[in-house]
Amino acid sequence: MLLIPAIDIKDNKCVRLLRGDYSTAHQVAEDAVEAAKSFRKCGADWVHVVDLDGAKDGMPKNSELIFRIQKESGLKLEVGGGIRSMDTIEYYLSNGISRVILGSVSVDNPAFVREAVKKYDDRIVVGIDAKNGMVAQNGWLKTSNVNYLDLAKEMEQAGVKYIIFTDINLDGTLSGPNLDMLDELNHAVSCNIIASGGVANMKDIVNLLDLDIYGAICGKAIYSGSLNLQSAIRFCKRRETNGI
């Protein structure tokens, strides 16, 4: 399982939110670039970066900092937040970003996702963020009437290879991921599922490994110290090597 540390950016600062509530934003690292460098020293290959301002406003807002993270950390970046046009996708990918995450647009314009996947293949990731099973949009400020499984199946038909699933009710709570929803999703589609939200400790990592989840994004657990990133990455690699 791929462990992916997270950096959320608001007003050019590395922050965390509780359940996606922008009013709960608090700075968790002095410098986002240095945080990314520390993740690489722990053995990470990827970092998950979200432009929170971009997600709310529908366009990139912190891209200069994101490009600095990519250039100075040596990590591969998957980036989300406000990516709703082919121009924005090209903007990020042509500047060294490895994968871009499409969120709200997957509900509003699935044809756009199909077009993006046709052009960029597995460099397109779809983020499905759900509240009580229903997909949220616009930086989680609005909830749609679309069920998360229905959207996942539609994205699978569009050719999407990677889906990041977040249970908003658990995000930033350190109370464990929603294993039931993740297991259901993992069996419903052939896409690689990346779990996000609620991961707190090694027990959660083991539980996700047991579900055969492709990847897990860890944010607050790393910053709070409840999860040792280096140990967790080593554990996942040992499990993969031993085929357990």
CA–CA gap between residue 49 and residue 217 (Å, rounded): 10
CA–CA gap between residue 241 and residue 5 (Å, rounded): 21
Contacts of 210 (CB under 8 A, 6+ apart): none
Catalytic residue among 51, 87, 108, 129: 129
CA separation, residue 68 to residues 27, 31, 51, 74, 219 (Å): 19, 11, 14, 10, 20
CA separation, residue 18 to residues 96, 174, 217, 220 (Å): 30, 10, 15, 9
45 is catalytic: no
Please count the other Cβ atoms lying within 10 Å of the Cβ belonging to residue 128. Answer: 23
129 is catalytic: yes
Residue 74, φ and ψ in degrees, nearest 5: 80, 5
DSSP string computed for 156-220:
HHTT--EEEEEEGGGTTS-S---HHHHHHHHHH-SSEEEEES---SHHHHHHHHHTT-SEEEESH
The set of catalytic residues is: 8, 129
